[in-house]
Amino acid sequence: MKEIISKLNRQFESRVRLGIMSVLMVNETVDFVTLKDLLDTTDGNLSSHLSALEKNGLVEMRKQFIGRKPNTRYKATDVGKLAFKEHLDYLAKLIGNRPKL
Amino acid sequence: MEINQEPIQQLTEIRNLMERSSRFISLSGISGVVAGLIALIGSGAALVYLDFDQRYFEMNGHFASLENSGYRDTLWFIIPDAMIMLVLALFSGIYFTSRKARNKGLKVWDSTARRMVINLSIPLATGGIFCLILLYHDLIFLLAPATLLFYGLALINASKYTYHEIRVLGICEIILGLMASWLIPFGLLFWAAGFGALHIFYGLIMYYRYEKENLNTEAGDRK
């Protein structure tokens, strides 16, 4: 049990971070507003989680302008994808079978 | 912040988010049934009209009837008939789909909807222009197979961004399209089968699989 707990990736402890990574696994890039709608959270909460993930090298941010409106897009890095897959494997091990994702 | 959610709950949420963010899941089964009914009525009308003077079947056998003065009359019936069907089916699709999205508390026009529509439209618009060119060349007997084929290809292309079942529907439409281009005299019947019967059949499958029993659970999920 101790071993299992130590393997738990602290990055994915929060619902929002887990959600961000889930969305970025199946979409090339996603903008801030779409993420906010999907995860049903606030601007501040989402951006603090995103910057934490960015600091740890799990996601990348790209700022651009569409017309005059700023548009911030996020993308999972290879490291981020790997870490998320490991987390999925870990969850699968906990429930004792592989999830069909 | 919830820490250490139950693993199963976490996995359910992950899968839910992956689906919601990459696939358009508000597509309504009822709109398929309604579109199918519209297609059956429209093609039934065409069948009755054409059967009465056998023009369609004559035209298929040989091109003699191109000089036939009745050819233009046929077009003047077929084109408005098709346009009315298209507009009605489109409106019912938009109506029932946005209703389903509203019921589930989802946005209708989000990035997944945009992606699905773009990927559906590219082969579909190509098919539409191709059909206009067929008309320009007076190749009216190829209209039924061409619409079936391009629609099938459009569905297969769009299926990556919505329910998987759409892919199988696309394959069925293509098979019918190929059969219609082989058995030209039965073109209209294949068209009615593809756009009418198949839509009703698929609409019902989608309705029972995703809408009927899910209505209560979905409402519960959205708190």
Compute the distance between CA of residue B194 and CA of residue B177 in angstroms, rounded to an integer.
Answer: 8
Residue recorded with tokens 């069907």 = B85
Out of A13, A18, A38, name the one closest to residue B14 (CB).
A18
Asked whether residue B165 is assigned to any structural domain, the reply reads yes
The ipTM assigned to this model is 0.77
Give the C-alpha separation, A91 to A8, whole Å. Answer: 9
**Do B1 and A14 count as a contact with CB atoms less than 8 A apart?**
yes
Average pLDDT of A84-89?
87
pLDDT for B223 equals 37
**A26 vs chain B: nearest CA distance in angstroms?**
6
pLDDT digits 0-9 by tens, A52-86: 889 888 999 988 888 888 889 999 999 999 988 88
Instruction: Give the CA distances from residue B166 to residues A12, A55, B29, B198, in Å, rounded to whole numbers and listed in that order.
Output: 34, 41, 11, 11
Residue A9's pLDDT is: 59
| CA-derived radius of gyration, chain B | 21
Contact flag A91-B11 (C-beta cutoff 8 Å): yes
Residues from chain A that touch B15, judged by Cβ atoms under 8 A, are 99, 101
Instruction: Out of A27, A88, A91, name the one closest to residue B22 (CB).
Output: A27
Tens digit of pLDDT for each residue in B101-137?
Answer: 888 777 788 888 988 999 999 999 999 999 999 988 8
B36-64 mean pLDDT: 71
Average pLDDT over chain B reads 84
User: Could you tell me the domains of chain A?
Assistant: 2-95 (1.10.10.10)
- DSSP state at residue B138: T
Q: Do A88 and B22 touch (CB under 8 A)?
A: no
Q: pLDDT grade, residue A11 (50/70/90)?
A: low
Portion of chain A with pLDDT greater than 70, in percent: 84
Residue B124 lies in a domain: yes
| Number of helices followed by number of strands (H, E) in chain A | 5, 3
Residues B174-200 have a mean pLDDT of 93
The pLDDT of residue B164: 87
**A1-60 residues touching B, CB cutoff 8 A:** 8, 13-16, 18-19, 22-23, 25-27, 30, 34, 37-39
DSSP state of B222: T
So what's the pLDDT on residue B1? 40
User: Nearest C-alpha of chain B: how many angstroms from A1?
Assistant: 14
Residue B67, classed as helix, strand or coil, is: coil
- Is B8 within the bounds of a domain? no
Asked whether the beta carbons of residue A22 and residue B10 sit closer than 8 angstroms, the reply is no
Across the interface, do B17 and A19 touch by the CB < 8 Å criterion? yes
* CA distance readout (Å), B149 to A40, B39, B146, B190: 41, 16, 5, 11
Q: Is residue B23 part of a domain?
A: no
Closest to B43 in 3D by CA, of B143, B166, B169: B143
Judged by CB atoms closer than 8 Å, whether chains meet at B3 and A30 is answered as: no
Confidence of residue B13 (pLDDT cuts 50, 70, 90): confident
DSSP B3: -
Three-state DSSP class for A64? strand
Number of domains in chain B: 1
Q: Do B18 and A37 touch (CB under 8 A)?
A: no
Secondary structure (3-state) at A31 = strand
Domain assignment of residue B21, yes or no: no
A43-52 own/partner pairs: CB under 8 Å, 24+ apart: A45/A16, A46/A16, A46/A20, A49/A14, A49/A16, A49/A17, A49/A20, A50/A20, A50/A74, A52/A17
Closest Cβ–Cβ partner in B2, B10, B18 for A25: B18
The SS3 call for residue A40 is coil
- Cβ of A88 and B8 within 8 Å? no
Q: Within a domain: residue B4?
A: no
Classify residue B11: in a domain, yes or no: no
Residue A77: predicted pLDDT:
92
Beta-strand runs (E) in chain A: 30-31, 59-66, 69-76
Distance, in Å, from the CA atom of B127 to the CA atom of B153, rounded to the nearest integer, reads 9
- The structure tokens 């046929």 sit at B74
The span from the CA of B113 to the CA of B124, in Å, is: 16
Name the residue range of residue B54's domain. Answer: 29-221
Q: Which residue has the higher pLDDT, A17 or B211?
A: A17
Determine, yes or no, domain membership for B15: no
Looking at residue B196, its pLDDT comes to 96
A94 and B107 within 8 Å at the Cβ level: the answer is: no
Euclidean distance between CA atoms B148 and B191, whole angstroms = 7
Chain B residues touching A52 at Cβ < 8 A: none
3-state secondary structure of B1: coil
Contacts of A23 in chain B (CB under 8 A): 17-18, 21
The answer on pLDDT for A2 being more than 60 is no
